[in-house]
Amino acid sequence: MPKANSNITVALVTGANTGIGFAVATQLAKDHGYHVIFGSRNPTQGAAAAAAVTAEGFSATSVQLDLTSDESIAAVVALIENKYGRLDVLVNNAGILCDLFVSGLTTRQLFSQTFNTNVIGTACLTEACLPLLRKSSLPRIVFVSSRMGSLAEATNTSMPFFHADIKAYDSSKAAVNMLALNYARLLADSGGLVNAVCPGLVKTKLSNNSADGATPEVGARRIVEMAILGKDGLTATFSDCDGSIPW
């Protein structure tokens, strides 16, 4: 099978069928001319999201992607390898927040479910994509994290949600930050740019559509900025739209 045009930037966005993921994928396709692969656990919703972009004349496809399934991850990587031969941008956006919105879980269940998606699944996908990213002339990875995962901010009593009991989510995002730093090191020899980004409080399903949240389009801005970095761009950073966040 012939590979995709090398002049087209190929990006995979996880959790792209809704919320921040959809906003990121849409902005990359419409504003920057990327070919965006909409990764979605629900294939019907993913296909509909990608179709909304292609209907306007932009380049997008969809894949079924379940971060808790090694078979699903392997199938996505094989598809990208066969069709495009490389991956230029990976946006690790998919995540869950069980602490506040899923009742009846034991502590072990809470941490297991949270880490299985947010950390283990994200790590498995990123590791599986590493050979494809190394084939890019400018590999970029964005890990969607949270200020709640900052060890420095964890003692800041004025931080929003300081008193909220979301320890599983917070811990998972601290682990995501460590993944970002590790992959920044691993891709350094390929000129890779790997960064962690906090989108802030956004009105999505993950936040139970918080009335205080920004729109997904606003939440996507910094993520997109890190996804479109050029050569000699930032790497091994943690930031939001207002600037650097302490690790």
Q: Compute the distance between CA of residue 78 and CA of residue 238 in angstroms, rounded to an integer.
A: 30
Catalytic residue among 146, 150, 172, 239: 146
Q: Is 173 a catalytic residue?
A: yes
Q: Is 146 a catalytic residue?
A: yes
Q: Compute the distance between CA of residue 19 and CA of residue 218 in angstroms, rounded to an integer.
A: 11
The token duo for 16 is 């792209």
Written as one letter, the residue type at 169 is: Y
Buried b (16+ CB within 10 A) or exposed e, 132-141: bbeebebbbb
Catalytic residue among 150, 169, 183, 239: 169
Q: Compute the distance between CA of residue 245 and CA of residue 247 in angstroms, rounded to an integer.
A: 6
Cβ-based neighbour number of residue 103 at 10 Å: 6
Backbone dihedral region for residue 104 (phi beyond 0: left; psi -120 to 50: alpha; all else: beta): left
Q: What contacts 136, CB < 8 A, 6 or more positions away?
A: 86, 87, 88, 190
Q: Taking a C-beta distance cutoff of 8 angstroms, is the pair 17, 38 a contact? A: yes
- Tokens 């995709």 belong to 4
Catalytic residue among 150, 173, 183, 203: 173
Q: Is 169 a catalytic residue?
A: yes
Q: Which residues are catalytic?
A: 146, 169, 173
